[in-house]
Amino acid sequence: MWCIGEITPEYRERMEDVLEVYERPYRSSEPVVCFDEKTLQLLGEKRMPRPMRPGKPAKRDGEYVRRGTANIFCAVEPKAGRHFTRVTENRKGPQTASMLSSLAAKYPKAKTIHLVMDNLNTHIEKPLLERYGCKEGRRIWKRFTVHYTPKHGSWLNQAEIEIGLLSRQCLGKRRIDDITKLRSEVSAWNRRVNRSHTKIDWRFDRKKARKTFGYKAKNSK
């Protein structure tokens, strides 16, 4: 459940920009890719769970051992059903830059890549410049046409839906205590959804936004 704050002129402008991009017909020359990340606690069992038996459910102790945290980058091209995930130790600038570089390389023939993401401080050009140098960093950044969601408007990013799918279909309520195992699990899920070309059916458009939030189009009288 999302708690939506005040719909300011800036909020409306960014929301309309993102929704307009979603409404465009699919074009391989200008793919729309949504990008986000998820921090995950690595948890180990303090006591071994009791296995499931006939007529008896499996039982897991409420106590656990903290094994640190990991980060999962999630990107999705909703209309094409292309999914990109990467597990890293953290979500700092170098890791973000590496993921963005990898995304750009996935679309070598694209005129531009419309990239939808939130306002996290690493979602800018600087990490690419620091990791790859000014010339290469700028070249990679220029591959993208960036569309930022409004502040407190991450619900407009379809990568949030991607994270929800990953959480339900792959991670579940299990305790994963090792980043190597996490990488293996996430990679297997990524291969499966790419084989099935799982798409996201986004239905919230500008017309619905104007009706829901009670405002008119910018140029309407």
Percent of the chain with pLDDT over 90: 76
For residue 9, what are the CA distances in angstroms to 109, 119, 150, 210? 36, 17, 10, 12
Question: Largest Cα–Cα distance in the chain?
Answer: 69
For residues 186-199, average pLDDT:
96
Among 122, 121, 124, 103, residue whose Cα is nearest residue 113: 103
For residues 60-88, average pLDDT:
87
Determine the topology of domain 10-44+64-196 in CATH: Nucleotidyltransferase; domain 5 (3.30.420)
**104, 79 Cβ separation under 8 angstroms:** no
For residues 214-219, average pLDDT:
85
Distance of CA 161 to the CA centre of its chain: 8
| pLDDT score of 44 | 63
For residues 14-32, average pLDDT:
97
| pLDDT score of 6 | 82
32 contact partners, CB below 8 Å, separation of at least 6: 21, 22, 24, 77, 78, 79, 114, 116
Taken in order 181, 128, 76, 157, is the CA torsion positive or negative?
positive
For residues 105-132, average pLDDT:
97
pLDDT of 60 > 60? The answer is no
| pLDDT score of 118 | 95
Beta-bridge partners for 84: 75
Break the chain into its structural domains and give their ranges.
Answer: 10-44+64-196
